[in-house]
């Protein structure tokens, strides 16, 4: 097997070469990619032109796929959502977030494919919740273990931006009914590696349940800033047909919104995970 893993930074990130993910990957390739994901948390593949069907097939090798309740999708492949700045307001991606933590079983990971890019700008950053947790002082790590936090769909999808037409309003209201605020651990354990990671994010986390409102606000402010420090993160400069595959259980990411009025089109396939613990 010619698959090669090249680490990109100490905290997270590796580039994968020697595999064509547009084709049906072998069991050996799948296992090697999964092992690299466990170790490096976000993987990058250059020059991998994928049809939506190929992207969904690759992602489905790692778990069941999610259909997003708000974002538009590819009509014949609904498991692939479309992030197109000419069609949808994607400002909620320009904040540090972990995908769909408003679900009882948030995403295991996601496969993102670059379809149309601005001439410059539009980079994406990822940060490691493992590196962030391990860099905290022992007393703070001990305090955080056992705390829970509320995650709310409406924090990144507010009614005033996503309910502006009757059709959008009906979709938003249905999503709100089906996804009421819920709680996850502030620190989660990776279900495979067992490593602990911070699991709060500015996109969806609204408060720490066991603390007063003022205490929660202060601690979340600290954790949001700490988790996204440069030494825990990596920045990827996209090229057309690049693919990123990240472990959503222990990372968060930020899509830099610095390229308007130019257009940026990305396709994402989201892999369902399990309940955080």
- Annotated active-site positions, please? 97, 99, 253, 268
In eight-state DSSP terms, residue 85 is T
β-bridge mates for residue 177, sequence order: none
Instruction: Decide: helix, strand or coil at residue 67.
Output: coil
Residue 71: CB partners within 8 Å, gap ≥ 6?
81, 82, 83, 88
CA distance to 5, 25, 49, 80, 215, per residue, from 54 (Å): 22, 11, 9, 10, 47
Q: What is the chain's Cα-based Rg?
A: 18
233 by Cβ neighbours in 10 Å (0-12 / 13-18 / 19+) ranks as: buried
| Helix extents (H) in 61-212 | 129-135, 138-144, 159-162, 166-178
Q: How far apart are CA 205 and CA 218, in angstroms?
A: 13
- CA pair distance 118, 260, nearest whole angstrom: 9
Torsion of CA 162, 198, 273, 96, to 10 degrees: 30
What's the sign of the alpha-carbon dihedral 196, 198, 204, 207? Answer: positive
CB of 13 closer than 8 Å to CB of 233: no
């Amino acid at each position: 097997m010619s698959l090669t893993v090249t680490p990109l930074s100490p905290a997270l990130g590796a580039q994968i070469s020697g595999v064509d993910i547009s084709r049906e990957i072998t069991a050996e390739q799948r296992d090697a990619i999964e092992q690299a994901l466990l170790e490096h948390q976000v993987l990058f593949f250059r020059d991998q032109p994928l049809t939506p069907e190929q992207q969904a097939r690759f992602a489905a090798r790692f778990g069941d796929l999610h259909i997003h309740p708000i974002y538009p999708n590819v009509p014949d492949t609904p498991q692939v959502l479309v992030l197109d700045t000419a069609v949808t307001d994607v400002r909620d991606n320009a904040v540090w977030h972990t995908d769909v933590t408003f679900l009882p079983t948030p995403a295991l990971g996601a496969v993102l494919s670059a379809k149309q890019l601005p001439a410059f700008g539009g980079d994406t950053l990822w940060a490691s919740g493992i590196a962030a947790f391990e860099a905290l002082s022992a007393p703070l790590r001990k305090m955080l273990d056992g705390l829970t936090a509320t995650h709310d769909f409406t924090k990144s999808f507010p009614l005033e931006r996503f309910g502006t037409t009757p059709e959008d309003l009906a979709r938003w209201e249905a999503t709100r009914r089906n996804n009421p605020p819920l709680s996850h651990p502030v620190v989660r354990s990776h279900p495979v590696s067992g490593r602990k990671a911070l699991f709060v994010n500015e996109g969806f986390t609204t408060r720490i349940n066991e603390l007063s409102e003022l205490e929660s606000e202060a601690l979340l402010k600290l954790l949001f800033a700490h988790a996204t420090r440069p030494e825990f993160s990596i920045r990827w400069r996209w090229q057309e047909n690049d693919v990123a595959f990240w472990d959503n259980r222990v990372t968060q990411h930020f899509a830099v919104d610095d390229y308007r009025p130019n257009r940026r089109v990305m396709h994402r396939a989201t892999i369902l995970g399990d309940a955080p613990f």
